[in-house]
Amino acid sequence: MYLPDDYLYSQKRYPVLYMFDGHNLFHDEDATYGKSWNLAWHIIEGKKDMIVVGQECSHHGNDRLNEYSPYPFADAELQVQQTGLGEKTMDFFVNELKPYIDAHFPTLPQRETTWIAGSSCGGEMALFAGMRYRDIYSRSLVISPYLIPTADYFLMEADQTFFDQPSFFYMSWGALEGNGKHAFVQETTICTELSNRLQEHGARIFFHVKPEGEHTESSWEEEAPLFLDFLFYYE
């Protein structure tokens, strides 16, 4: 977790950003590939009053892929076939994690100040959460989402999702992710079509397409000032 230094005595209450892959957020020594998002530094530098809750995932085999997919999928390149346990993951987020955080920390628990974020499979989950659990989360950071194997499911979900309250999605991806330009074209097509359908149903989308963007923590850290500003931007 990230907590403001003065949270115990400031008498303030804070918005909360829930994030996937918590081990990659704050410290290089905890990160899977030795590089974190360095998120606490960017929050302090940007003078953002907020709490961040980073949920840990399984590091056993390909369990993370299963935990962080709301739909069944197969990926020939990764040689995996998963049933998708993402709905169970979100059940934990909504019915166990959020109530615990609100009970033990000085949060602003209402929808307008409850947000969710992730990258790669975590970005896929942040998108799903912003759609399926739109009564809980008002803003979703969907960063480099791993959508190609589950695109058809997401398009069907988008067709059935209607937003009756303001819902905001930060959608970013990079040209240097995946294997060559074909993957970038696929990702761009999916993200654009999904966003179009969500906008038709009342969502608001902020796009950030990165010409030099890679599928790495270093690349995601570079956009931290932008997505943190997005969370605090109110029309």
- Residue 166 within a domain: yes
% residues pLDDT > 70 (the chain):
97
Q: For residue 178, is pLDDT > 90?
A: no
- Residue 6 within a domain: no
Contact between 153 and 197 under an 8 Å Cβ cutoff? The reply is no
pLDDT at 76: 65
Looking from the CA of 82 toward its CB, the CA atoms found within 13 Å total 23
What is the rounded distance in angstroms from the CA atom of residue 151 to the CA atom of residue 81?
A: 15
Q: For residue 235, is pLDDT > 80?
A: no
Residue 167 belongs to domain with CATH number: 3.40.50.1820
- Residue 8 within a domain: no
What is the rounded distance in angstroms from the CA atom of residue 225 to the CA atom of residue 210?
A: 14
The domain in which residue 116 lies consists of: 16-231
- Residue 4 within a domain: no
As a whole number, the mean pLDDT across the chain is 94
Residues 177-190 as b/e (b if ≥16 CB within 10 A, e otherwise) read: bbeeeeebeebeeb
Q: Tell me the pLDDT tens digit for each residue of 97-128.
A: 999 999 999 999 999 999 999 999 999 999 99
Sheet of 51-54, strand order: 51-54, 16-19, 114-119, 139-143, 168-174, 204-210
- Residue 7 within a domain: no
Number of domains in the chain: 1
pTM of the model: 0.95
- Residue 217 within a domain: yes
- Residue 10 within a domain: no
- Higher pLDDT: 176 or 75? It is 176
Q: For residue 2, is pLDDT > 60?
A: yes
